[in-house]
Amino acid sequence: MKEKKETDLGKDKLGMLLLKLALPAILAQIINVLYNMVDRMYIGHIPKAGPDALTGVGVTMPVIMAISAFAALVSMGGAPRASIMMGRKDHKQAEKILGNCTMMLIIMAVILTGIFLIWGENILLIFGASEKTIGYALDYMKIYAMGTIFVQLALGLNAFINAQGFAKMGMLTVAIGAIINIILDPILIFQFSLGVKGAALATIISQGISSLWVIYFLTSKKSTLRIKINNLKLDYKIILPCLALGLSPFIMQFTESVISVCFNTSLLKYGGDIAVGSMTILTSVMQFSMLPLQGLTQGAQPIVSFNYGANNIHRVKNTFKLLLKCSLSYSMLLWAIAVFIPDVFVYIFTNDSNLAEHTRWALRVYMAASGIFGIQIACQQTFIAIGNAKTSVFLAILRKIILLIPLIFILPVFISNHTFAVFLAEPIADTIAVSVTATLFYRTYKRLEVSDRHFE
């Protein structure tokens, strides 16, 4: 007998259901951020070597983001499709999707491990490592790369736990890894004098235990969908649609490192170190403050996907409306704080008066359009939840690659205050992207209404 599911995606009241699924997802996002913050905090306090070690590990962040992005490529495409199949009562196909995605995660992990072990030093030098920091960066990355298989399975397969409605179990996966990492970090870094190597070792051990936890759950009777050996053989008819749907979140995550480089190089040219320092704070504020929005969309995804697969279009529409209201309310609150009381964010990260003053006005510019971003994320993630791969990929490319990156370099040509122009690229790109996304989703929503009337 399988354990009773935490939720019934097709019948529970939407308000409570979204809360049940979103709250653990939000907590998991926060725990994951703390996971990385604690790691850096310990590294920064290594005697004598702290600053260089921290800088070296910082250079590895694009590598870590790339590994996470490839996990999202598989999981964020596979999990919604599995939910849709569950809604259609096609349990066999849902388990084939889980099996194929598991094998794809393993294959990607092997390839990525090879790439980073063979060409790691060259990659890190491109990302900004210097003679002083390359040693620390390599020490961290070589060990982290050996644990890529654990990262891929822990992050990738956890999405399939959430997709079944086991949100608390999904949160527990993240919490287990974070707690073990926090415990092991000081022991391995300081007590065993392993320094940066100890931090990397603590990370892969904790991810390894998380991955074992996920695999145990997805092979047990507690899970609705189970990993089965006969489903591990790759079938292009199953895996290719998953990868196509996962392209949007992959692009969103993978391009973060590219955008960070574009912002920093441009700001260093026009505004110097203080502008780059401000950008570091702005990025941290944006990433941390957007966690509740990411958690909301993760909570809504299995509800939308399951009911879309079950042809319960009325419930799909109502879930989207609730998600939109919650997302927009939160993003408007965030905008109000950034514009009217920015010091709430600024002094979390710095007490330096010059940096605080620069960051204060930069925050107001950078987050000028954050109030409407709730529309963007609600619509874009719903496209993914209903399996619309083409539109979700286009929107991911539009905002970051077509709009934001060119604007970072084009606006300073036309605006005399070059630093202001660079920061202005973000709200302009957001405004255009939200307008396009809302227009495309309106057309999709109208088609859903037609389907709803058809199934009444």
Which of residues 216 and 27 earns the better pLDDT score? Answer: 216
Q: What is the pLDDT of residue 3?
A: 44
Structure tokens at 92: 């066999």
Q: Rounded to two decimals, what is the model's pTM?
A: 0.78
Distance between CA 63 and CA 140 in Å, rounded? 11
Position 56 confidence tier, pLDDT thresholds 50, 70, 90: confident
346-350, 359-363, 452-456: lowest mean pLDDT where? 452-456
Could you tell me the residue ranges of all domains in the chain? Answer: 14-234, 271-455
Could you tell me which residues come within 8 angstroms of residue 196 by beta carbon, excluding any fewer than 6 positions away?
43, 46, 53, 56, 57, 136, 139, 140, 189
Position 452 confidence tier, pLDDT thresholds 50, 70, 90: low
Q: What is the pLDDT of residue 273?
A: 75
Distance between CA 114 and CA 305 in Å, rounded? 35
Neighbouring C-alpha atoms within 13 Å toward the C-beta of 74: 29
268-287 mean pLDDT:
78
427-434 mean pLDDT:
95
Distance between CA 37 and CA 291 in Å, rounded? 15
Distance between CA 38 and CA 266 in Å, rounded? 29
Distance between CA 195 and CA 200 in Å, rounded? 9
Q: What is the pLDDT of residue 450?
A: 61
Share of the chain above pLDDT 70, in %: 92
Q: What is the pLDDT of residue 194?
A: 92
Q: What is the mean pLDDT of the chain?
A: 86
Position 271 confidence tier, pLDDT thresholds 50, 70, 90: confident
Judged against a pLDDT cut of 80, whether residue 227 lies above it is answered with yes
Judged against a pLDDT cut of 50, whether residue 2 lies above it is answered with no
290-299 mean pLDDT:
84
Distance between CA 90 and CA 147 in Å, rounded? 34
Angle between helices 134-146 and 61-87 (to 10 degrees): 30
Distance between CA 405 and CA 261 in Å, rounded? 10
Judged against a pLDDT cut of 70, whether residue 1 lies above it is answered with no
CA quadruple 78, 83, 85, 89: dihedral positive or negative?
Answer: positive
Collapsing DSSP to helix, strand or coil, 351 comes out as: coil
Distance between CA 64 and CA 337 in Å, rounded? 31
33-42, 63-72, 164-173, 433-442: lowest mean pLDDT where? 33-42
Residue given tokens 């209903």 in the structure block: 386
Structure tokens at 22: 């979103």
Between the alpha carbon of residue 434 and those of residues 373, 399, 431, 444, the distances in Å are 7, 9, 5, 15
Cα torsion through 287, 292, 295, 299, rounded to 10:
-160
pLDDT per residue as tens digits for the range 357-389:
888 999 999 999 999 999 999 998 898 888 888
